[in-house]
Amino acid sequence: MKFGGTSLEGATAFQNAARIVAERIERRPVVVVSAMARFTDALIASVKEAATVGADAGLASLEKHFDRHSRVIDALLSKEGDRLRQLVEQGRAEIRDLLKTAATEQNADRWRRKALEDAVASNGERLSAALLAAVLLENNYSACDVDARCCVVTDDEFGCAAPLMTETFANTQAQLRSLIESSCVPVLGGFIGSTVTGETTTLGRGGSDYTAAIIGAALDSEEIQIWTDVPGVLTADPRVAPKARTVPRLSFAEASELAYFGARVLHPKTLHPAVERDIPVRICNSRAPDGRSTVVVGESEMSPQTVKAIAHKTGVTTVQITSARMLGAYGFLRAIFEIFDKYRTAVDVVTTSEVSVSLSLDDTSALPTIVAELEKLGTVSIEEERAILCIVGEGLRSTPGIAARIFSTISDINVSLISQGASRINLTFAVEEARAREAVMRLHKEFFEQLTEEHTPIDEWGLSLPA
Ligand code: ADP
Ligand code: ASP
Ligand code: MG
């Protein structure tokens, strides 16, 4: 059971999460938590603040967050209160020392800075785990705060570390099995890990979902539950399409596409460990625990209207390489991708014609160097401030008329990089970032809202059907 930062905002939220765990105690849960909402942002920012302004300024920027933890302790803990106050103090002292180091290493390289950020950021998840375990103990449930860094072993790619699965599975089983067998609920911080030499790492922003899936897979769990602030995976981001509603069932492939193309409710890597062991992933609403949820499973099914959800991702850059030398030549694509490989830059969507290759990327930190090298192969053009939209649903490729409906709904919006994934379940394309919200709203209306407005019956998918 993983609780995100939005489900751990303050005392009421911690009490609620503890109640949700307690109500499921017979299923012998293992709990993974995120840092309190907004704390990770603040922790990472404090390292930059320390390096530019000084360690005291960095620490001062965190005081209101330490206070938030203290308020949870004051509200919920009496027996456990003093121990937890001491833990918060220890966290503050550890962070102070790390920020002092950041302040003295102003010219540290990117790798070193990321290592410091990870060490500081890990305090968010570590404090959350200690707090939730204490709330459970206070309510007379047997619970134990486990340092996730003793379970999750990673490489040293700070800020975005990759878990070493064999070591991680062995450690997780060794650390947690006996606790579970003695009916004690282990509570771990998500997002964090440690290298083989013991340096703290993180799995990338939003990575607690991934931790939950790794731990679930290591223990061969019955189900991996992601408890968040919305009722499961919705037909679109509810902040863009307020009428978005729960998709009750998705396949691993469908949910992966949605997560990868911007549905923040699931970290894109979450499903890998679950797929390998065929463990269902359920996305539940911590604000309405018995209400609607989404279950993600191995089998795929077609929904009556084919399209199940729309995801979108902003902050995308597209790159086009054009060269007549490509015509009939081999080795050209390899030459292009070797350049992206060399600068460790991930590419998302790729389309090709006889004489050009277009692709999209999120991370533009190495782009100037990449472009300089690509220019040796052909003419390069860049479009910034783009967004990717991804329409997902089993059977999308075999159902006539869907693409026509999509593009006629947004016919006045310029679309590029149109691609139908090899998985046959998605249609992806780029639009100008400034028009992405409008495109999502219009597509959501076309595929999901017209039917509801007619008050038509709801089928087993929770989607309305024409009368
Ligand atoms: P947590 O703190 O629980 O990890 P996140 O903020 O990471 O929560 O993810 C939940 C948020 O994801 C929702 O509040 C919602 O705004 C956003 N979101 C984006 N797309 C979707 C979608 N298709 N379905 C549900 N939520 C979505
Ligand atoms: N706290 C981390 C973040 O904000 C990890 C997570 O919430 O999943 O990115
Ligand atoms: Mg999240």
Neighbours of ion ligand 3 (CB under 5 A): 4, 206
Q: From the alpha carbon of 37, which atom of ligand 1 is closest?
A: 2
Buried b (16+ CB within 10 A) or exposed e, 278-287: ebbbbbbbbe
Rounded to an integer, what distance in angstroms lies between the CA atom of residue 183 and that of residue 224? 18
Rounded to an integer, what distance in angstroms lies between the CA atom of residue 22 and that of residue 16? 10
User: What's the 419 CA to ligand 1 centre distance in angstroms?
Assistant: 25
Which residues line the pocket of ligand 1, CB cutoff 6 A?
4-7, 34, 206, 228-230, 233-234, 236-239, 263-265, 309
- Residues composing the chain: 467
In this prediction, residue 462 carries a pLDDT of 46
In this prediction, residue 461 carries a pLDDT of 44
Ligand 2 pocket check for 202: Cβ under 6 Å = no
The number of the ligand nearest the C-alpha atom of 9 reads 1
User: What's the 3 CA to ligand 2 centre distance in angstroms?
Assistant: 10
Q: For residue 456, what is the DSSP state?
A: P
DSSP class per residue in 388-411: EEEEE-TTTTTSTTHHHHHHHHTT
The per-residue pLDDT string of the chain (467 residues; one tens digit each, 9 = 90 and over) reads 999 999 999 999 999 999 999 999 999 999 999 999 999 999 999 999 999 999 999 999 999 999 999 999 999 999 999 999 999 999 999 999 999 999 999 888 889 999 999 999 999 999 999 999 999 999 999 999 999 999 999 999 999 999 999 999 999 999 999 999 999 999 999 999 999 999 999 999 999 999 999 999 999 999 999 999 999 999 999 999 999 999 999 999 999 999 999 999 999 999 999 999 999 999 999 999 999 999 999 998 898 889 999 999 999 999 999 998 877 778 889 999 999 999 999 999 999 988 999 999 999 999 999 999 999 999 999 999 999 999 999 999 888 899 999 999 999 999 999 998 777 899 999 999 999 999 999 999 999 998 654 434 344 444 444 43
In this prediction, residue 452 carries a pLDDT of 53
Ligand 2 pocket check for 189: Cβ under 6 Å = no
Using CA positions, which residue lies closest to atom 2 of ligand 2?
A: 206
**Residue with the two structure tokens 């081999």:** 330
Beta strands in 10-152 (DSSP E): 31-33, 143-146
User: What's the 292 CA to ligand 1 centre distance in angstroms?
Assistant: 15
For the question of whether the overall pTM of this predicted structure is more than 0.85, the answer is yes
Which phi and psi (to 5°) does residue 250 adopt?
Answer: -135, 155
What are 53's two structure tokens?
């302004």
CB 80 within 8 A of CB 132: no
The number of the ligand nearest the C-alpha atom of 208 reads 2
In this prediction, residue 420 carries a pLDDT of 86
With H, G, I as helix, E, B as strand and everything else as coil, classify residue 412: coil
**387 pairs with which residues across the strands?**
431
Rounded to an integer, what distance in angstroms lies between the CA atom of residue 49 and that of residue 113? 12
CB 348 within 8 A of CB 292: no
Q: Structural domains in the chain?
A: 2-222 (3.40.1160.10), 309-449 (3.30.2130.10)
What are 135's two structure tokens?
């709330």
Query: What is the enclosing helix (H) or strand (E) of 50?
Result: helix 39-52
The number of the ligand nearest the C-alpha atom of 190 reads 2
In this prediction, residue 120 carries a pLDDT of 98
What are 226's two structure tokens?
């992601």
Q: From the alpha carbon of 205, which atom of ligand 2 is closest?
A: 9
Cβ burial, residue 328 (10 Å; 0-12/13-18/19+): exposed
Pocket perturbation via mutation, ligand 1, pick of 191, 264, 426 by most ligand atoms within 8 A of CB? 264
The number of the ligand nearest the C-alpha atom of 3 reads 1
Amino acid identity, residue 463? L
